[in-house]
A = this chain, B = another copy of it.
Amino acid sequence: MINKITIIGVGLIGGSLALALKERNLAKVVFGYGRDQSRLEEAQKSNVIDAFSTNIKEAIDEANIVVIATPVGTFKDILDQIEPLISSNVIITDVGSTKSDIVNIVNDVLRDKSSCFIPAHPIAGKERSGFEVSDSKLYDGKKVIITPQEMNSPESIDVIDQMWKNVGADVDFMSAESHDNLLGMTSHLPHMLAFSLVNYLVDQNPNASIYAGGGFKDFSRIASGDAVMWRDICLQNKNQIMGHLKGYQSTLDDLLEAINDEDSEKLGQLFTTAKKTRDSWLG
């Protein structure tokens, strides 16, 4: 069993990992770090974490694994504080939803100590945030993508791989660039489309939503994502997101052309392909 795992940032993602680790007895101590003493006290009372500190030195002292689970915008600050405290055998990992940008920050700040950092991204979440909605089953059957760096030791990668497998996740490996392209497409693009749809509708007719059917409500659910988080994702994954938005606009142009030409056959094909694809994804 691992002696101590420290979670930096005990929100939904960090809290759910903490709960899952505790429930399966995967660490002697699951330790929380944050800036807000009262929030950490509440998280401990709710049995999400075993112990906590608002002092970073105390938090990572003798930790075997440190999981950074704060918004990516805070990474530089946190790594700056951690860098002088890194011992030879600690493994640091993260849960950030972009990877190339994070790897750049890590290499800038940790320099020759960067080999201890294993970049990872669990693809799981909820509409709500905060440790109160933590769920020990959040990662059950979910994908976690690890994007190893060249200098990572196989043993360190294996520790993080095992940690996620032990809480029920299905782990895949790919490059940071592939991750950012893939998530740019499957997550960032749909969020951009949903935010834009809501903004378009409210601009056209603020009362339109009362006539919206179930489909629209599903669609717009993801427009409730945290604005600061999504702003940061746009800045961190700028090129991939822009590429996918432009590619998507070409797809819309094809559809517009088919509608303009009243091309029944092409319209039928476009919608049949989409329906078949979508239904096959469900199967």
Q: Which residues of A contact B (CB under 8 A)?
A: 123-125, 143, 145, 172, 182-183, 185-187, 189-205, 208-216, 218-228, 230-231, 234-235, 238, 241-242, 244-249, 251-252, 255-256, 258-260, 262, 264, 267-268, 270-275, 277-279, 281
Contacts and interface: CB of A to CB of B under 8 A. Distances in A.
A201 B238 CA distance: 18
Contacts of A234: 258-259, 267
B235 A216 contact: no
A145 B208 CA distance: 13
Given A245-B256, A247-B200, A278 B211 contact: no
Given A185-B205, A192-B252, A242-B260, 9 more contacts: A198-B273, A199-B273, A199-B274, A200-B244, A204-B244, A218-B218, A228-B268, A231-B271, A245-B256
Given A227-B275, A277-B202, A209 B186 contact: yes
Contact of A274 (B123, B195, B259, B271): B195
A212 B200 contact: no
Nearest to A267: B231
What are the nearest 9 A-B pairs in CB distance?
A227-B271, A215-B222, A195-B274, A209-B281, A186-B212, A198-B274, A227-B272, A231-B267, A218-B218
Contacts of A203: 251
A271 B219 contact: no
Nearest to A246: B256
A255 B268 CA distance: 30
A242 to B, nearest CB: 6
A222 B234 CA distance: 26
A61 to B, nearest CB: 35
Contacts of A227: 268, 271-272, 274-275
Contact of A210 (B143, B220, B225, B247): B143
A196 to B, nearest CB: 5
A246 B204 CA distance: 13
B196 A251 contact: yes
Contacts of A201: 185-186, 277
14 contacts: A145-B211, A186-B208, A186-B212, A190-B197, A190-B215, A190-B220, A193-B219, A193-B252, A201-B277, A203-B251, A224-B278, A227-B275, A231-B264, A246-B256
B270 A195 contact: yes
A262 to B, nearest CB: 6
A259 to B, nearest CB: 5
A197 B191 contact: no
Given A199-B251, A200-B247, A123 B264 contact: no
Contacts of A199: 251, 270, 273-274, 277
